[in-house]
Each structure stands twice: as C-alpha cells, then as structure tokens.
Structure 1
Amino acid sequence: MTPAINVLNQSGSVYELHQFHPTGGAHSYGREAARQLAVEAQRLFKTLLVRLESGAFVVALVPVSGQLDLKKLAQIIGERKACLAEFTDVPRITGYLPGASAHWV
C-alpha cells in the first residue's frame, strides 16, 4: 500500500481504489490510465517530484492532459532551474514507487 492509502485506512475514511494495468508500450502512462479507467484526462493527475537547483525537492500535481513547465515552476519558487527528480530519488524522498500511478478527482 502507498503511504496515502495507509493514512486513509488509519483515518477510517471511505474511498474506492481504482487500479489500471499499464501495458508498458504506451507513450503516456497517464493517458493510458485515463483510457482504461474511462476518466477524462483533465480529471486525472500525475504526481511529479521535481529537484530544484538548490537541491530541495517539490511535488507538482499536473493534469494528465497537461505538461509541467519546469522553468516557470522554478521562477515561481524563486529558483533559477528545476528538473524532474531521478527515479531513484522518488522512493527515498516520498516513500512511493516511481512510475504508473495516477490520482483522479
């Protein structure tokens, strides 16, 4: 289970878990998830871990139908540069496994 699901379980929250099974050949995991779950891509969010030039990390939630503008994110935060974190950083920083997980609202 993910840390978020563990929190939901501990709080007694009522929720429904929606799973999809990536084929591995898709260009976009998010769009594949939206298709399999029959959810509009703008309602499904990808969670991106971003490393700033200072070495700090931030999390960005972006609709599957969009793309993150790393330059604009860095500018908003007051940094010069930002890049997506390495896959190996994701579990160390967040406790999550990188890859095909998606959230929808």
Structure 2
Amino acid sequence: MFKTIGMAIIVFGAFTSNAFASDVSICPKVSEIKSSPYTSSDPNIPAPFNEGYKYTATANGKTWEGVTMATNDDYLASKYKLKAESYDGSICSYGGETVVENGETAVPYLKLKAS
C-alpha cells in the first residue's frame, strides 16, 4: 500500500510541478524581444557591474521587461540560441547555449516580467 501511495505522490508531483513551465507560449518570442545598452543608476552597484542590457517586448497584450547586469553580452545575438524555457505565472525565463570566446564564458540567462 505504501508503494502505491508513494508512486501516486511522485506521479502527481510530476504533473503539477511543470504546470507553468510547459506553457511558454505566453512568453514573448525571441524575435519580439528588443535590447538596448543599460546602466543602472543604483549607487550601490559599482562599475562595471552596473552595466548590461535592458530587454523589452510587447506580446500577448502585455509589456515585458528584463535587465542583465555585469555583462557585455547581448543574449539576443544568434550565437546564444536563446529560447523560452519556463513561465511561472508572471516571469518568463530564457536560456541558451553557453559560448566561450577569448577565454571568457557567457551563459545566457534572461528573465522577462510582465507589467
């Protein structure tokens, strides 16, 4: 009986844990996202860690925004092969391929929040 209950919990958990993660269709397509250089005005973040990119998109009737900091990499560049990976109800998370150039490693990761 305990095996049956345990298996039911595992199966139920598998179905419920990805409820939002599988519905990335709500997320803006990568082609809809625009980027621009960004510098934070927060005096507690020293240069060059206060620099990165701001990402914006309008999709599915919502405006989406996100920022990456402490990077010179625009993750919309095709070499990163950025794609939506999960949606948690208000935030879309994107990831892609790790790129190593000139001894530096860039791991693309971007979150867009609907406003």
TM-score per shorter chain, which class?
A: under 0.3
Relative contact order, higher structure (CA 8 A, sep 6+): 1
TM normalised by structure 2 equals 0.26
| Higher helix proportion | 1
TM-score by length of 1: 0.27
- Greater share of residues in strand: 2
